[in-house]
Structure 1
């Protein structure tokens, strides 16, 4: 069954597998944590990004597939992905960011690597904030233009396919029905700025020219683990896999494509701290996967900018992280 796109959500449904096999994915706006030597807690969501079916916009690029979904972001804006499964129904999720696997850093392949565990399971893993570095940290997803080595894929492979691919595989219905109790869902609080913060002007250099492609670079360090898979290989319905492809559209291109203004620029760190929005720490008894990935030696967006002689991050002041709220358990 094809993926359904709403204004802010990707809906994966597998009624042929089980009536409860339904997964919702949103891309959450958030604060870009400082790109420095500090590891920060999980910043909350500031509302979901708008998602639009690429087939519904005018002047779409010729290389876009009919099912591509457009994700509008400002340059240097951060994002995290939220996964919500109906009744805690389990799913196997794999993510390609620019053509590389977000968990391992290897080239993304169509087939699941059960030996290398190049995937994560939902609802055991309710969020993904960035590229997995090691057992306790990720590097935040930060939208950056292609062509100058800012994105993770460009650094690791020399190329970036300018897409975010999300592949979803459902658990077998009979396996689900045979269980006595579903896992309790873990929900991360999503704070919404609403009208508290007025629309912000784009920082200098934050508005690229229309038509320039963007990918995801590695931003500041965030405390987050990726849980070890717990389901057996034979429990998944591989033949029922479904996939969505997202393309990051910069603010200027978004307006040219849709005749609508982009969402207001992300808040500065100073504004964010002024309003006292919370930070989180996810406490979970599940075992985090050990060891480091290929992302461990990646240059961050700030470091690439310094090598290029550019001010890649117009707002990057360091600060002492506040005490986080503990969630999960």
Structure 2
């Protein structure tokens, strides 16, 4: 990623302008029905392609970027927590925009909108496929036609995930920073007058590691940890020639309740040129082991066992944001089950008490009157 301005901080990819992106493992949803937000089950490990230049395919070296291991039909979502300043972020699935369904572009567009607005958009679980819903990101091999790229463009060339960030124009950003300073000073005065808080904090929530399952659910994914020094898998020999790795891309799975928010800024507030971009290669677990010498993460957790254990699902609603209408292109994308066969994993819907509301409670607005 030389000269791109993109860096890795642990498993977080940081793009210029304060953008932070983490790739989060999660439960794969059934491909029928509409579901609440599934939980985060730990981060995918992320490594730089340049650090393994002698073991990756030539086209990977040419594209640069980062790589992460993912199982066939494993689901993921993108977390933007830790983004420090406003940014417009383009998200591509095989160089097809996950928001608009249009082919990849180096320019922001509004009709249709081809980016998410950070930090207002806290995460993205899939493509913008319906009013108030998205279809879950699911890993699938290239060559079947099951990827978003294959269904939209008719060919599968790129695979992977693409990210590109646009900051605010310098004058607009300076104005935003001044406003943040003013709000922070007001907050400090308010807290000082009230005597402050006693260190009370909120833990858990969407994306937080779930508590351990009682008795250990079958197939449960453990913490995402680096291998212990004594148990690391030996790397491939330095003289081994790079071979063609199994190419993976993003298809879609089940539908969930999630809004992709409409930008309420003028398009001219954003920089015309991207500040940074990165190509994210998706690697099968055997290839991950061969390339990095690290053991891949454990296989995904069993979703029925997760629900039986009473662990939380989530529902997010922002009453001040407006949902972006889906495009016909993304509405017509079919789930990977149409290519890979019926989803045979058992499904146990969460009870209402297991669905945790986040941010604003959803419901009809109560109007005030004269009194």
With the shorter chain as reference, the TM-score category is: 0.7 to 0.9
Q: Taking structure 1 as reference, are residues 50 and 105 closer, same or farther at Cα in structure 2, changes over 3 Å only?
A: same
Between stretches 228-237 and 244-253, larger displacement belongs to 228-237
> Contact 1:27–1:82 at 8 Å: present in 2 too?
yes
Are 1:152 and 2:187 an aligned pair?
A: no
Supply the distance in 2 between the matched residues of 1:41 and 1:201 (Cα, whole angstroms): 20
Indicate the residue corresponding to 1:2 in structure 2: 5
Which is helix-richer, 1 or 2? 2
Q: Secondary structure at the match of 1:260?
A: coil
Task: Could you tell me which runs of 5 or more consecutive residues in structure 1 were left unpaired when the two chains were aligned.
Answer: 15-21, 203-209
> What RMSD, in angstroms, separates the aligned Cα atoms of the two structures?
2.6
Shift of 1:178: 4.2
Are 1:189 and 2:206 an aligned pair?
A: yes
Shift of 1:55: 1.0
Indicate the residue corresponding to 2:301 in structure 1: 267
Indicate the residue corresponding to 2:119 in structure 1: 123
Supply the distance in 2 between the matched residues of 1:152 and 1:73 (Cα, whole angstroms): 17
Are 1:319 and 2:323 an aligned pair?
A: no
Indicate the residue corresponding to 2:15 in structure 1: 12
Supply the distance in 1 between the matched residues of 2:11 and 2:218 (Cα, whole angstroms): 20
Indicate the residue corresponding to 1:249 in structure 2: 283
> Contact 1:55–1:67 at 8 Å: present in 2 too?
yes
Q: Secondary structure at the match of 2:347?
A: coil
Q: Taking structure 1 as reference, are residues 109 and 13 closer, same or farther at Cα in structure 2, changes over 3 Å only?
A: closer
Indicate the residue corresponding to 1:175 in structure 2: 175
Shift of 1:109: 1.4
Q: Secondary structure at the match of 1:101?
A: coil
Residue number among 129, 142, 162 corresponding to 2:159 in the alignment: 162
Indicate the residue corresponding to 1:19 in structure 2: none
Shift of 1:237: 2.4
Q: Secondary structure at the match of 2:22?
A: strand
1:247-294 Cα offsets, whole Å, 9 max, x none, are: 000111101111111000001122222332211111111111235441
Q: How does 1:26-37 map to 2 (within 5 A)?
A: 26-36=22-32
Supply the distance in 1 between the matched residues of 2:292 and 2:218 (Cα, whole angstroms): 19
Q: Secondary structure at the match of 1:175?
A: helix
Indicate the residue corresponding to 2:239 in structure 1: none
Between stretches 168-177 and 193-202, larger displacement belongs to 193-202
TM-score (norm 1): 0.85
Supply the distance in 2 between the matched residues of 1:254 and 1:199 (Cα, whole angstroms): 24
Indicate the residue corresponding to 1:54 in structure 2: 49
Q: How does 1:163-242 map to 2 (within 5 A)?
A: 163-172=160-169, 173-179=173-179, 180-181=182-183, 189-192=206-209, 197=216, 200=219, 211-239=245-273, 241-242=275-276
Q: Taking structure 1 as reference, are residues 270 and 86 closer, same or farther at Cα in structure 2, changes over 3 Å only?
A: closer
Residue number among 322, 339, 356 corresponding to 1:304 in the alignment: 339
> Contact 1:199–1:265 at 8 Å: present in 2 too?
no
1:82-115 Cα offsets, whole Å, 9 max, x none, are: 012455x211011110121101111111211133
Q: Secondary structure at the match of 2:81?
A: strand
Query: Aligned pairs, how many?
Result: 305
Name which one, 1 or 2, has greater alpha-carbon Rg. 2
Supply the distance in 1 between the matched residues of 2:255 and 2:120 (Cα, whole angstroms): 22
